[in-house]
């Protein structure tokens, strides 16, 4: 017996659900990418992205996955053997580190246990010890999608300022932007990278970099620049150069609609919606955890992300639970990745998501826990419902 027929629930932390309005906006004939109409669309989308990053700096766009934006940040501002400071917050920090190693950067990778955000004190002391300012960049992941952990970029900036270190601050906010508070300018971030497939509610395939004047100054003497990622080339005469080649027009049609939707809702309201739905999820997980088999992966409550919750499963195979949710209920959960493979599942509450979607997912997990005989505290879904009932007043 299965109950999966009906609307499919994709609750993985990216790609996230694409709203019907965005899908419909993409159902268009191709345009002349050299024409004025397309340039107008491109400028509108980039202006919308500036509003999401909260920056006055021009945003650079790449037809690529988020990995491309990681690479773009590196090659546009650094040179081989440059020293950089990175922090092992989880799988995505490890992957970014892997790219940096390929470019022969000299990396100080501060180890982590995947259950905490970046240790800001450790960053500060490494920078304080670097009296000759050999470290050229500090690279952190804002929202570690694998572990469900937030590292506050503004706290990293404050630590850098306390020791008056001139390194660039590069932040991966691929799964943070538009889901959680983010301020590229006000927080003094030099380079922010993002992708289309998470809080931006658009299919995968677009990546973005916001870079300030300090980043552009570093770009002038960066020795890793390649033609495709190069900011200078992309800033050339022809509008279509901004895409490095023929633009992915249909993704831009979709993104324009997604930006309209986010700005109609209001960015602050969208961020608040994420906070409420995340806290509702955490109410359910806290209740389940009373049974002893489940636990929050992230130890400190204040570090838990508002876009995804990673749940550790002890003594049971979490993928069996995820299989049950998918096969019996049509709910697709995120699975543990990297060091968390086979040890955790992830509930995404990111992007185009509302209260009944979260209730549906929590209900499916609770049904799976019961069906599989996994010990858990009762009433997780009820706790989530009651929490939102208290918070969202008539
Ligand atoms: N950084 C973070 C925080 C991510 O969550 C992801 C993807 O999930 C990436 C980087 C890599 O992005 P992509 O898979 O689009 O290349």
In a domain, 208, yes or no: yes
The confidence band for 93, taking pLDDT boundaries of 50, 70 and 90, is very high
Structure tokens at 35: 């024409």
Kindly report the protein residue whose alpha carbon is nearest to atom 8 of ligand 1. 14
CATH code of residue 201:
3.40.640.10
Ligand 1 atom with least separation from CA of 143 = 3
Whether residues 39 and 125 share a domain: the answer is: yes
CB 362 within 8 A of CB 383: no
Average pLDDT along the chain: 97
The confidence band for 139, taking pLDDT boundaries of 50, 70 and 90, is very high
Give the chain's length: 394
Mean predicted confidence (pLDDT) in 382-390: 98
Digit-coded pLDDT (tens) for 206-254 = 999 999 999 999 999 999 999 999 999 999 888 989 999 999 999 999 9
Angle in degrees, CA 109, 111, 115, rounded to 5: 135
The domain boundary, picked from 219, 244, 263, lies at 263
Distance CA 311, CA 147 (A): 9
Digit-coded pLDDT (tens) for 335-369 = 999 999 999 999 999 999 999 999 999 999 999 99
Whether residues 107 and 209 share a domain: the answer is: yes
Mean predicted confidence (pLDDT) in 368-391: 98
Give the distance (Å) from ligand 1 centre to CA of residue 102: 18
Out of 69, 147, 171, 174, mutate this one to test ligand 1's pocket (max ligand atoms within 8 Å of CB): namely 174
CB 222 within 8 A of CB 78: yes
Distance CA 43, CA 260 (A): 14
CB 310 within 8 A of CB 148: yes
Kindly report the protein residue whose alpha carbon is nearest to atom 13 of ligand 1. 66
pLDDT at 8: 86
The domain boundary, picked from 212, 242, 263, lies at 263
Kindly report the protein residue whose alpha carbon is nearest to atom 9 of ligand 1. 66
Count the domains in the chain.
2
Distance CA 21, CA 29 (A): 16
Give the distance (Å) from ligand 1 centre to CA of residue 91: 9
Whether residues 179 and 140 share a domain: the answer is: yes
Which residues have any ligand 1 atom within 6 Å of their CB? 14, 65-67, 92, 141, 143, 145, 172, 174-175, 195, 204
Structure tokens at 61: 């766009």
Digit-coded pLDDT (tens) for 262-277 = 999 999 999 999 999 9
Digit-coded pLDDT (tens) for 143-181 = 999 999 999 999 999 999 999 999 999 999 999 999 999
**DSSP H or E stretch at residue 107:** strand 106-110
pLDDT at 221: 97
Residue keyed to tokens 């799964």 = 175
Whether residues 257 and 279 share a domain: the answer is: no
Q: How many CB atoms lie within 10 A of CB 356?
A: 9
Out of 69, 88, 92, mutate this one to test ligand 1's pocket (max ligand atoms within 8 Å of CB): namely 92
Whether residues 311 and 190 share a domain: the answer is: no
Give the distance (Å) from ligand 1 centre to CA of residue 66: 5
CATH code of residue 329:
3.90.1150.10
Whether residues 275 and 252 share a domain: the answer is: no
In a domain, 195, yes or no: yes
Whether residues 149 and 279 share a domain: the answer is: no
Distance CA 336, CA 202 (A): 24
pLDDT at 59: 97
Residue 373: give the domain boundaries: 9-16+266-391
Whether residues 123 and 74 share a domain: the answer is: yes
CB 144 within 8 A of CB 90: yes
Residues 6+ apart with CB under 8 A from 286: 296, 380, 383
Distance CA 43, CA 40 (A): 5
Ligand 1 atom with least separation from CA of 144 = 3
pLDDT at 240: 87
Mean predicted confidence (pLDDT) in 326-341: 98
Distance CA 210, CA 182 (A): 12
Whether residues 270 and 351 share a domain: the answer is: yes
Beta bridge partners, 171, equal: 140, 192
Out of 150, 175, 198, mutate this one to test ligand 1's pocket (max ligand atoms within 8 Å of CB): namely 175
pLDDT at 291: 98
The domain boundary, picked from 239, 263, 287, lies at 263
Out of 14, 153, 337, mutate this one to test ligand 1's pocket (max ligand atoms within 8 Å of CB): namely 14
Give the global pTM.
0.98
């Amino acid at each position: 017996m299965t109950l999966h027929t009906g609307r499919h629930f994709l609750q993985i932390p990216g790609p996230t659900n694409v709203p019907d309005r965005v899908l419909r906006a993409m159902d268009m004939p191709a345009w002349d990418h050299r024409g004025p109409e397309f340039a107008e669309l491109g400028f509108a989308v980039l202006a919308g992205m500036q509003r999401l990053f909260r920056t006055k700096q021009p945003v650079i766009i790449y037809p690529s996955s988020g990995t491309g934006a990681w690479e773009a940040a590196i090659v546009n501002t650094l040179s081989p053997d440059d020293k950089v400071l990175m922090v092992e917050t989880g799988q995505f920090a490890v992957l970014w580190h892997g790219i940096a190693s390929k470019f022969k950067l000299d990396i100080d990778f501060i180890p982590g246990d995947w259950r905490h955000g970046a240790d800001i004190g450790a960053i500060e002391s490494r920078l304080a010890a670097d009296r000759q300012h050999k470290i050229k960049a500090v690279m952190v992941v804002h929202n570690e999608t694998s572990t469900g952990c937030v590292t506050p970029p503004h706290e990293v900036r404050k630590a850098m300022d306390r020791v008056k270190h001139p390194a660039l601050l590069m932040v991966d906010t691929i799964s943070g932007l538009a889901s959680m508070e983010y301020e590229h300018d006000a927080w003094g971030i030099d380079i922010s990278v993002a992708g289309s497939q998470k809080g931006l509610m658009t299919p995968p395939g677009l990546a973005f970099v916001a870079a300030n004047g300090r980043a552009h100054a570093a770009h002038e003497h960066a020795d890793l620049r390649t033609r495709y990622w190069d900011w200078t080339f992309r800033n050339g005469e022809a509008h279509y150069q901004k895409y490095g080649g023929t633009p992915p027009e249909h993704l831009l049609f979709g993104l324009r609609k997604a930006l309209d939707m986010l700005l109609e809702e209001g960015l602050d309201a969208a961020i608040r919606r994420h906070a409420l739905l995340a806290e509702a999820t955490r109410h359910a997980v806290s209740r389940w955890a009373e049974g002893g088999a489940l636990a929050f992966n992230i130890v400190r409550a204040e570090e838990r992300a508002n876009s995804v919750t990673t749940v550790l499963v002890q003594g049971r195979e979490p993928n069996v639970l995820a299989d049950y949710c998918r096969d019996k209920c049509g709910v697709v959960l995120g699975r543990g990745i990297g060091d968390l493979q086979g040890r955790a599942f992830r509930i995404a509450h990111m992007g185009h998501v509302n209260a009944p979607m979260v209730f549906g997912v929590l209900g499916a997990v609770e049904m799976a826990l019961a069906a599989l005989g996994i010990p858990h505290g009762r009433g997780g879904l009820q706790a989530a419902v009651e929490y939102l009932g208290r918070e969202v007043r008539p």
